[in-house]
Structure 1
């Protein structure tokens, strides 16, 4: 009977250890996921700014080309 009790106690200890390990892993994954989400949001914002800058430069080039063109009567 004592051997069976010790075996059950060891199983409970093993399960508690596994649970603690899983909780630590989940916490680490949660932190990593939050960091990745922040990085993604930052990258999206940077991409939006780059697209906006590119559009502004394209409009500026178009405007400059229009100004430099000679009117048809020349």
Structure 2
């Protein structure tokens, strides 16, 4: 998952949640609270996905099926 793509998606989702909350509650503070809650939930989900990628890669290396050149430095191409 690309981080810039995630940021655009998170921003769009947050704006939609804020607008929806404002329409439903007619309160800026309620809309702000829901938007912050949406951002926190999305960030927790993103961190969970990154951790899952790291765990899966380490499990693949343990099984010997990883296609990583052990002579090269760490490659973070999965995290862009």
- Larger % of helix: which? 1
Q: Which has the higher contact order (CA 8 A, sep 6+)?
A: 2
Q: Which has the larger radius of gyration?
A: 1
